[in-house]
Amino acid sequence: MKHDVDQYFETVLGITRDAGKIIKEGIARTKNVDTKLGSWDLVTQYDRRVENVLMKEISKKFPSHKFIAEETNAEQKATPELTNAPTWIIDPIDGTTNFVHGFHLTCISIALSIEKEVVIGIIYNPILDQLFTAIKGQGAHLNNQRINASQVEELCKSMVCLESSFACIPSLKDSIMKRTEACVKVAHGIRVLGSAALALCYVAMGVAEAYHIDGLQCWDVAAGALIVREAGGIVLDSTGGTFDMMSHRILACGTKKLAEELVILFKKADASIIKININNG
């Protein structure tokens, strides 16, 4: 079947902008905040409302398309499975903790996968009215202006975006702390923005050189990874291999050289944990 990707893009862009109004109106209001995996993993009535609106409106236009969406997935307690079918991968609010605190870095992230390849990425921050978009092969844009990833090749000249929330997960904690420490010692600076999707957009527009965290889901990274690549950046598995959005490991950089330096640094950081564990018996 032939797909009119440009038409899918235009249609879902309009739906996304409309859904953004819910976030813009909600950010200053009282929210009902529930937790999922733990006290750091939040969800509000707005996450569910935005997701429902997006799925309902997209289904009306494209009834045969499938969805992988964060809150629906959480309710079903399912492991997300990607098929060859056209599938909209939706994070209704990326940066829920920011949203709950009224902190302005929060967005909708939507990607379209066809034959397991992401061909559309849309990330919209309705508070700052920043719309990041990419269609495969057509470059990356912020509010219709072309954006490009940084050309910086050395970590000592880089701004690196990381995450802190996963440090609450015992299996990830040691590695996150050691990798963060290693970056702190070398990089120009590190930033923890609280939105994976927006951090990837900042790599795409060259204001950050790298973004990394292990533990994310496909809806956190599907759109952002395409936007980084279309901006000329590189997206890898954080072990240095091929990126797979279903694998929970991501390293996005402006340049290949910087990515290589970070992969080596992360390997050394992880090896130091194993040594500590051996020394502690």
- Residue-wise over 245-254: b if at least 16 C-beta within 10 A, else e? bebbbbbbbb
Can you tell me which of 20, 80, 126, 194 binds ligand 2AM, judged by CB under 6 A?
A: 194
Would you call 96 a catalytic residue per the annotation?
yes
Would you call 220 a catalytic residue per the annotation?
yes
User: 74 to each of 79, 85, 91, 119, how far by Cα in Å?
Assistant: 9, 21, 12, 25
Would you call 89 a catalytic residue per the annotation?
no
- Between CA 199 and CA 191 the distance in angstroms is 9
220 annotated among ligand-binding-site residues: yes
Can you tell me which of 27, 44, 46, 91 binds Ca ion, judged by CB under 5 A?
A: 91
Token pair belonging to 71: 């809150």
41 annotated among ligand-binding-site residues: no
- Between CA 58 and CA 136 the distance in angstroms is 20
Can you tell me which of 96, 175, 238, 255 binds ligand 2AM, judged by CB under 6 A?
A: 96
Task: Write down the residue that tokens 């509010």 correspond to.
Answer: 143
User: 117 to each of 85, 167, 229, how far by Cα in Å?
Assistant: 10, 30, 13
Token pair belonging to 161: 């975006």
Number of residues that bind ligand 2AM (CB under 6 A): 15
Token pair belonging to 233: 């950046």
Q: Assess 80 for contact with ligand 2AM (CB under 6 A).
A: no
163 binds, among Ca ion, ligand 2AM, none (CB under 5 to 8 A by kind): ligand 2AM
Can you tell me which of 51, 209, 220, 230 binds Ca ion, judged by CB under 5 A?
A: 220
Residues 16, 44, 87, 96: which is the catalytic one?
96
Would you call 91 a catalytic residue per the annotation?
yes
Can you tell me which of 23, 50, 58, 94 binds Ca ion, judged by CB under 5 A?
A: 94
Strand partners, 210: 160, 253
Minimum distance, C-beta of residue 94 to ligand 2AM, in the bound complex (Å): 4
Q: Of 111-119, 192-200, 255-263, 270-278, which segment contacts ligand 2AM by CB under 6 A? A: 192-200
- Between CA 238 and CA 225 the distance in angstroms is 13
270 annotated among ligand-binding-site residues: no
Q: Of 49-57, 89-97, 121-129, 262-270, which segment contacts ligand 2AM by CB under 6 A? A: 89-97
Regarding beta strands 189-191 and 159-161, do their DSSP bridges make them parallel or antiparallel, or are they unpaired? parallel
Residues 70, 214, 230, 261: which is the catalytic one?
70
Residues 47, 51, 71, 91: which is the catalytic one?
91
- Could you tell me which of 86, 100, 88 has the C-alpha nearest to residue 47? 100
Can you tell me which of 195, 214, 228, 252 binds ligand 2AM, judged by CB under 6 A?
A: 195
93 annotated among ligand-binding-site residues: yes
User: 165 to each of 153, 172, 200, 272, how far by Cα in Å?
Assistant: 28, 10, 17, 22
Which x/- pattern, by CB under 5 A, does the window 221-260 give for Ca ion? Answer: ----------------------------------------
- Between CA 263 and CA 236 the distance in angstroms is 9
Residues that bind Ca ion (CB under 5 A): 70, 91, 93-94, 96, 220
Residues that bind ligand 2AM (CB under 6 A): 37, 40-41, 91, 94-97, 163, 165, 194-196, 216, 220
